[in-house]
Structure 1
Amino acid sequence: MIKFFRHIRKNLLNEGKTSKYLKYAIGEIVLVVIGILIALQINNWNEQRKLQKLEKTYYESLYTDIKKDSLEYIRKSRNANRNIQKLNNILRFIYNDYDIKKTKFDSIDFGNKIYKDTLALIFSFSQAGFVQFPQTYENTITDLRSTGNIKLLKNEELKNRIIDYYNSQKLFKSWNESLITARQTMESALNNILNKEERVAYNTKEGLTRDKIEYSIFLEKLKLEPEFEGLVIGMLHLHYRILKQCDDNLEYYVMPIMDRLKKEF
């Protein structure tokens, strides 16, 4: 093909047809430019397709992460409710002057077991310092931010909502970390009331019964912790906050964002 065009140019020059040669040369240049532009357009189109595919992949990954968050909030909400039951058991026992017979305990299901009555009280004490804060899965948003690919998300409203969601979790994380000392204080008080064996006694047959001497010692130790009631109320407040955190995140952020993400892939 190249030899063919060269032959035409040579014939035109040999025949002295300069004007025709110039027109032909200009036409050839135009064809070359058009060819280059078409090649660039095809390349841009291919690049755009790759970016659109990557954008879709990111939406799918974000959906996977946030779905995991939804399950995490449901689990931690369930745990918080369980812990609220335990703490209420303790408070009822204290408010009834440490009298088991006068106290009505909430039964607690845990590990395929149901703890009732006295065992529910022992279990409640042993687990009173137990706290689980919700965690978020941030692999995709971290990747988007570190690579700068967050600009690929074309749905600006959805992108801003996602960014707002993850920024809000930083505040919750900071709040959660500030409460670690409250858990440590509760654990220290519990260790003064129950020894290591007693704290796991709810899970053994021997732990189902306590003789009068052991029970009286338990009460004496409990009464020697005058701030224990306040610690229980503080922990109760903490679990209600965790419960609200989980419920609010599910309702305001997670479920709406998941619905919007589904429409993007």
Structure 2
Amino acid sequence: MMKFFKKIRQKMLTESKFRKYLLYAIGEIILVVIGILIALSINNWNEKQKELAKEQLILKQLNSEYQSNLNQLDQKILMRNEALEACNNVLNHIDNPNSIKEDEFYQSLWILFRDPTFDPIKNDIVGSENLRLINNDTLVRFLSNWSSEVFQVQELELEYQKFRTEILLPCYLRLGVSRNVNNNLWKDGYTPTEALDKESKKKFTIKPTKKSLNLNKILEDVELEGIVSQVITHHQVTNIQSQTLRMRIINMLEIIEREIKK
């Protein structure tokens, strides 16, 4: 083909048809440019298709991860709601000591001692080149803010871990209720809310303490009453933050599902 064009050029030059040659040369340049542009366009289209395919894989991975995160977060919110109910039960026993139900009281004390902590799946999308493959700007913003928002919830959870270890546990030990609390937990079988195997119900024999334990005196303990009130405030605040985080996840999942269906 190149030899053919070369012969035509030479023929035009020898025949002194410079104007025609110039027009031909311009036309040839235009054809070459068009060919290059078409090749670049095809190459860009192929690259774009590859990026779109990769984006779909990332979106599907994110959909799975954040659905798991939502399930786990719901579990932690549930645990705190159960703790709030347990706090109300303990305060009700404190306010009405004559109607105390021993098993219910010990069960409530155990629920207060549980430690709900949110540990979401971590991905490497943010901070990597994969983030640029996501075309939805709102989703990119949510993903970029995710770590800092999770940290705000986890900070509150760490505060409760410290509170439980340094204040709640010493109070239980001082009041002498720990053995009875744990005996009540295991005697009929127990499956934690956060258990991986929800069907597993383990029993264990501890037996209650043989020491003299005056529940009415325990209910008069002002420190226990204050601790329970503090647990209510802490779990309420943490759940408020967790609900906000939950809405973030739901918004992300809605966007992801729409982007996957495109």
Instruction: Tell me which interval the TM-score lies in, with the shorter structure as reference length.
Output: 0.7 to 0.9
Residue number in structure 2 paired with 1:106: none
Q: Which amino acid aligns with 1:264?
A: E
3-state DSSP of counterpart to 1:136 = coil
1:144-202 CA-to-partner distances (Å, cap 9, x unmatched) read 32114434433334443554555433322233323332111212222333476544312
1:256 aligns with 2:237: no
Give RMSD over aligned pairs: 3.3
CA distance in 1 between counterparts of 2:164 and 2:235 reads: 11
Pick one of 160, 164, 169 that aligns with 1:183. 164
3-state DSSP of counterpart to 1:135 = coil
TM-score (norm 2): 0.74
Q: How does 1:1-265 map to 2 (within 5 A)?
A: 1-97=1-97, 99=98, 102-103=99-100, 117-139=101-123, 143-164=124-145, 166-184=147-165, 185-194=167-176, 197-202=179-184, 203-204=186-187, 210=208, 214=211, 216-217=212-213, 219=215, 222=218, 226-250=222-246, 252-265=247-260
Aligned length: 243
1:206-247 CA-to-partner distances (Å, cap 9, x unmatched) read 969758x53x33649947964222112111222233333344
Residue number in structure 1 paired with 2:192: none
Which consecutive unaligned segments of at least 5 residues does structure 1 have? 104-116
Q: CA deviation at 1:92?
A: 2.7
Could you say if the C-alpha distance between residues 218 and 207 of structure 1 is closer, same or farther in structure 2, counting changes exceeding 3 Å?
Answer: farther
Q: CA deviation at 1:62?
A: 3.0
CA distance in 2 between counterparts of 1:85 and 1:144 reads: 39
CA distance in 1 between counterparts of 2:217 and 2:34 reads: 91
CA distance in 1 between counterparts of 2:115 and 2:237 reads: 12
Contact preservation (8 Å) 1:86, 1:125: yes
Q: Which amino acid aligns with 1:31?
A: L
Q: CA deviation at 1:73?
A: 2.5
TM-score (norm 1): 0.73
Contact preservation (8 Å) 1:134, 1:246: no
Which consecutive unaligned segments of at least 5 residues does structure 2 have? 189-203
Contact preservation (8 Å) 1:192, 1:221: no
1:39-58 CA-to-partner distances (Å, cap 9, x unmatched) read 11112222222333333333
3-state DSSP of counterpart to 1:144 = coil
